[in-house]
Amino acid sequence: MRSFAYQAPHDIETAIAAAAFKPDEKVPTRAGTQYIAGGTNLIDYMKLGVARPERLIDVNQLAEPELRLIEVDAGGLRLGALVRMADAEEHHDIKRDYPVIAESLRLAASGQIRNMASLAGNVLQRTRCEYFRETSWACNKREPGSGCAAMGGVNRQHAVLGVSDACIATYHGDFAQALIALDAIVEAQGGNGRRKIAFADLHRRPGDTPHVETNLAPDELIVAISVPAGPWTRRSRYLKVRDRESYAFALASAAVALDLDGEKVRHARIALGGVATVPWRAREAEQALEGEALDEASAARAADAAFAAAQPHDHNAFKIPLGKQTLVRALLETRDMKV
Ligand code: SF4
């Protein structure tokens, strides 16, 4: 591992200032700075030589209570950025009112990881593309302009939605699928103050700049994630299909939330995981369902709509039928929930 500077400030303002200035310089310079919380993703990549920060700003000592609060009221859910995955997953009100969030967290990683990882860090995790993780391979995300070894290599785990000619890496997170389905909002604070970002606008599709993964400024720190209440949040679930039932990333997953009028769908909220380059809201599928009676046939039509623009590569075409079947099953199981 390369050497780096380390700071552990005690308040958000100091952390942001630290992210903007090198300790021994008077001019702002944000290159090479990273915030670190649980470290379950970043430390891996530092050991591999993939991430090479010059400075780490450790946010675990930040004293603002809002960073560790879970609040549920009539308006919705607010999650502090430093809440650990396990604490949110076990929260009684989240399990009752937002089961898709609790399930996405429970299925995301091992117990040890969930005890360490923060919610904000989880949504910012980087791809597990094997060519990104191994520095001897060409990778546009790690080394812009170097090429993409996955295109002509083994791409079974890679994305079929939101891909570009520069990168087909899958966004592997689970929690993010629940958040994008439920129209979550991210609160971020930086040198220019605090702002709200629709969760759907947090991540960037790879395009021709796959190394730029989010719309956060380099000094912006996520302080909270909020989820608005809605008539669909209790009837919601997360279904994850993977090679083995423990500690594996999704080959396909679906986050579904439904507001039903009898058998008919008033509103559907759908996101897909394991198949796309970013957290993926399946609006075409939602539109196909609204006003329809939800049964196997209408669910299948929605799944077809969700994958109509899919672009497979040599080894991942199976994700299209698998993703469709995962969505159909998630829709029918969500319909049948007792709420
Ligand atoms: Fe890199 Fe993306 Fe290609 Fe993987 S798919 S090698 S992350 S450019």
Task: Give this prediction's pTM.
Answer: 0.96
Q: 26 Cβ partners below 8 Å, 6+ apart?
A: none
The encoded tokens of residue 214 equal: 């989010």
Give the binding-site residues of ligand 1, using a 6 Å CB cut-off: 127, 129, 131-132, 139-141, 148-150, 167-169, 210
Predicted local distance difference test score (pLDDT) of residue 218: 87
Q: Which atom of ligand 1 is nearest to the CA of 130?
A: 4
For residues 159 and 191, the answer to whether their CB atoms sit within 8 Å is no
Bridge partners, residue 7, by sequence? 57
Q: Using 50, 70 and 90 to split pLDDT, how confident is the model at 29?
A: very low
Predicted local distance difference test score (pLDDT) of residue 26: 53
Q: Which atom of ligand 1 is nearest to the CA of 206?
A: 2
CATH of the domain at 320: 3.30.390.50
Does the residue 315 lie in any domain?
yes
For residues 193 and 221, the answer to whether their CB atoms sit within 8 Å is no
Does the residue 247 lie in any domain?
yes
- Nearest partner of 312 among 165, 161, 206, judged by Cα: 161
Q: In this predicted model, what pLDDT tens digit does every residue of 90-113 receive, in sequence order?
A: 999 999 999 999 999 999 999 999
Predicted local distance difference test score (pLDDT) of residue 245: 85
Predicted local distance difference test score (pLDDT) of residue 332: 98
Does the residue 255 lie in any domain?
yes
Q: In this predicted model, what pLDDT tens digit does every residue of 222-247 receive, in sequence order?
A: 999 999 999 999 999 999 999 998 88
Does the residue 213 lie in any domain?
no
Q: Does the pLDDT of residue 270 top 50, yes or no?
A: yes
Q: Does the pLDDT of residue 207 top 70, yes or no?
A: yes
Does the residue 262 lie in any domain?
yes
Q: Does the pLDDT of residue 24 top 80, yes or no?
A: no
Q: DSSP H helical segments within 56-186, as ranges?
A: 85-89, 92-97, 99-106, 111-116, 119-123, 130-133, 149-152, 175-181
Q: At what angle do helices 296-306 and 319-335 cross, to 10 degrees?
A: 140
Does the residue 165 lie in any domain?
no
Q: Dump the DSSP string for 267-302.
A: EEEEEEESSBSS-EE-HHHHHHHTTSB-SHHHHHHH
Question: How close is the Cα of 324 to the center of ligand 1, in Å?
Answer: 25
Percent of the residues in the chain that have a pLDDT greater than 70, as a whole number: 96
Structural domains counted in the chain: 1
Does the residue 125 lie in any domain?
no
Q: In this predicted model, what pLDDT tens digit does every residue of 145-163 receive, in sequence order?
A: 999 999 999 999 999 999 9
Predicted local distance difference test score (pLDDT) of residue 102: 98
- Tell me the pLDDT of the chain averaged across its residues: 95
Predicted local distance difference test score (pLDDT) of residue 296: 98
- Nearest partner of 15 among 79, 80, 64, judged by Cα: 64
Give the C-alpha separation, 311 to 299, whole Å.
Answer: 21
Give the C-alpha separation, 155 to 176, whole Å.
Answer: 22
| Average pLDDT rounded to a whole number, residues 46-58 | 92
Q: Which atom of ligand 1 is nearest to the CA of 169?
A: 5
Does the residue 259 lie in any domain?
yes
Q: Using 50, 70 and 90 to split pLDDT, how confident is the model at 1?
A: low
| 259: containing domain | 236-335
Q: Are strands 76-80 and 55-58 parallel, antiparallel or unpaired?
A: unpaired
Predicted local distance difference test score (pLDDT) of residue 20: 79
Bridge partners, residue 36, by sequence? 58
Predicted local distance difference test score (pLDDT) of residue 31: 57
Predicted local distance difference test score (pLDDT) of residue 19: 87
Give the C-alpha separation, 130 to 278, whole Å.
Answer: 17
Q: Using 50, 70 and 90 to split pLDDT, how confident is the model at 321?
A: very high
